[in-house]
């Protein structure tokens, strides 16, 4: 389906309007007038793009302000922006390859933080034996903040069971938790307090935060090392107008995050729980476990997200709740579930 206007809560297809519960604009910022005004103001000041290396002799104040906001919001010592979440993940993996003896991954992590020769953390439901042996190793644990097809942050309690002879670096992709989970949408990074050497967070900013770009957050030493990578120094940075907007929009983020929480709490208050859906009031995705429900929603002029991460995979059907949905939208959606 091809549309000629941004799909917010309403999407128009072949001159017919549908309720839309798809995309990743969790905070509804792409069509938020106050947010758009900030972006426009910053484009007028910083231009439409800045195709120069971040290490050039001319340094833009926008990066300092935006990255300081992100570090404070996430709860990290330091943060750096790049042009995409995918690049953020690849930069971290490239650096970790030089510092790591072995990689382990939890479930099907996003492609941004995948690497060859990585081992699964669990085998047949048990912790990988290599994590339990006494061999001293520097290891990296790769995981999404909220795993695919889940509605709660990843359970990291297994970290406590890993051999004390392993020096652990935890890499979390928070593209679908930054801006959503924890206070004001700070993500899960700051809440991770297991006995590990280092924790690194990567995320797209093009989802909840509504701006094309990516972020890497962690301790100052690691972020400084990222900035020394040739891939970083030879690439243009994130659009400076967008980076400046990150800082300028901090109050808007709070307001929209609360609207999102209000919508999720409202759904929870009217939804009759059943085995055909997977929902938690702290997370804006509802997974459908029944193809019959997808068809019923279409009959009620409701379009949801349906896509394949891999060509041969079954389509992933999920409903995305945003801060922009109105109560009447939610009533119509939940009514389809409650009629079952």
- Residue 185, pLDDT score: 97
On the question of pLDDT at 308 being above 80, the answer is no
How far apart CA 242 and CA 210 sit, in angstroms, is 9
- Residue 271, pLDDT score: 96
For residue 307, count other CB atoms closer than 10 A to its CB: 10
User: Domain locations in the chain?
Assistant: 10-29+251-338, 33-248
- Residue 311, pLDDT score: 62
Tell me which fold the domain 33-248 belongs to.
3.40.640
On the question of pLDDT at 278 being above 70, the answer is yes
- Residue 15, pLDDT score: 84
Residue of higher predicted confidence among 4 and 235? 235
Beta bridge partners of 293: none
On the question of pLDDT at 116 being above 90, the answer is yes
Residues 179/29, Cβ–Cβ less than 8 Å? no
Mean pLDDT of 85-107: 96
Give residue-wise pLDDT tens across range 220-234: 999 999 999 999 999
How far apart CA 315 and CA 306 sit, in angstroms, is 6
The distance of Cα 77 from the centroid of its chain, to the nearest Å, equals: 20
Contacts for 161 with CB less than 8 Å, ≥ 6 apart: 127, 131, 132
Query: In the chain, how long is the greatest CA-to-CA distance?
Result: 65
pLDDT band at 294 (very low <50, low <70, confident <90, very high): confident
Mean pLDDT of 262-266: 98
What's the residue count for the chain? 340
How far apart CA 171 and CA 44 sit, in angstroms, is 36
pLDDT band at 257 (very low <50, low <70, confident <90, very high): very high
How far apart CA 99 and CA 18 sit, in angstroms, is 50
pLDDT band at 195 (very low <50, low <70, confident <90, very high): confident
pLDDT band at 43 (very low <50, low <70, confident <90, very high): very high
On the question of pLDDT at 313 being above 80, the answer is no
Give 336: exposed, middle or buried? Use CB within 10 Å, 0-12, 13-18, 19+. middle
Residues 158/126, Cβ–Cβ less than 8 Å? no
For residue 53, count other CB atoms closer than 10 A to its CB: 12
How far apart CA 77 and CA 1 sit, in angstroms, is 43
pTM of the model: 0.94
How far apart CA 19 and CA 243 sit, in angstroms, is 32
User: Per mean pLDDT, which range of 18-22, 105-109, 126-130, 177-181 is the poorest?
Assistant: 105-109
- Residue 44, pLDDT score: 98
pLDDT band at 266 (very low <50, low <70, confident <90, very high): very high
SS3 74: helix
Q: Provide the sign of the torsion angle of the four alpha carbons 16, 17, 19, 22, taken in this order.
A: positive
- Residue 148, pLDDT score: 85
Residues 237/63, Cβ–Cβ less than 8 Å? yes
Mean pLDDT of 295-304: 92
On the question of pLDDT at 314 being above 80, the answer is no
Give residue-wise pLDDT tens across range 136-192: 999 999 999 999 889 999 999 999 999 999 999 999 999 999 999 999 999 999 999
Mean pLDDT of 93-99: 97
Contacts for 139 with CB less than 8 Å, ≥ 6 apart: 100, 101, 102, 103, 104, 131, 162, 166, 167, 168, 169
Architecture of domain 10-29+251-338 in CATH? Alpha-Beta Complex (3.90)
- Residue 149, pLDDT score: 87
């Amino acid at each position: 389906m091809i549309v000629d206007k941004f799909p917010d809560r309403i999407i128009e297809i072949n001159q017919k309007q549908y309720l839309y519960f798809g995309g990743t604009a969790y905070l509804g910022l792409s069509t938020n007038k106050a947010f758009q005004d900030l972006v426009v103001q910053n484009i007028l000041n910083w231009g439409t793009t800045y195709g120069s290396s971040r290490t050039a002799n001319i340094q833009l104040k926008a990066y300092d302000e935006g990255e300081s906001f992100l570090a404070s919001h996430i709860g990290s010592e330091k943060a750096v922006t790049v042009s995409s979440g995918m690049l953020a993940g690849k930069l971290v993996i490239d650096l970790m390859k030089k510092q790591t003896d072995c990689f382990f991954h939890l479930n099907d992590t996003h492609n941004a933080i995948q690497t060859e020769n990585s081992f699964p953390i669990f085998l047949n439901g048990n912790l990988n034996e290599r994590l339990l042996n006494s061999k001293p190793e520097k290891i990296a644990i790769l995981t999404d903040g909220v795993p695919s097809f889940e509605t709660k942050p990843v359970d990291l309690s297994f970290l406590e069971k890993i051999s004390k002879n392993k020096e652990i670096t935890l890499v979390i992709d928070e593209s679908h938790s930054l801006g959503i989970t924890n206070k004001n949408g700070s993500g899960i990074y700051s809440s991770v307090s297991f006995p590990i050497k280092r924790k690194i967070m990567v995320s797209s900013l093009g989802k909840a935060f509504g701006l094309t770009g990516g972020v890497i957050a962690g301790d100052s030493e690691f972020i400084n090392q990222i900035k020394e990578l040739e891939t970083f120094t030879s690439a243009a940075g994130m659009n400076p107008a967008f980076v400046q907007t990150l800082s300028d929009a901090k109050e808007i983020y709070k307001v929209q995050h609360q609207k999102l929480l209000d919508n999720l709490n409202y759904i929870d208050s009217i939804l009759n729980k059943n085995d055909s859906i997977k929902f938690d009031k702290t997370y804006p995705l509802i997974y459908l476990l029944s193809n019959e429900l997808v068809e019923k929603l279409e009959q009620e002029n409701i379009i949801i997200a349906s896509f394949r991460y891999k060509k041969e995979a079954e389509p992933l059907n999920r409903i995305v709740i945003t801060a922009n949905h109105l109560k009447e939208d939610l009533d119509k959606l939940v009514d389809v579930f409650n009629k079952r």
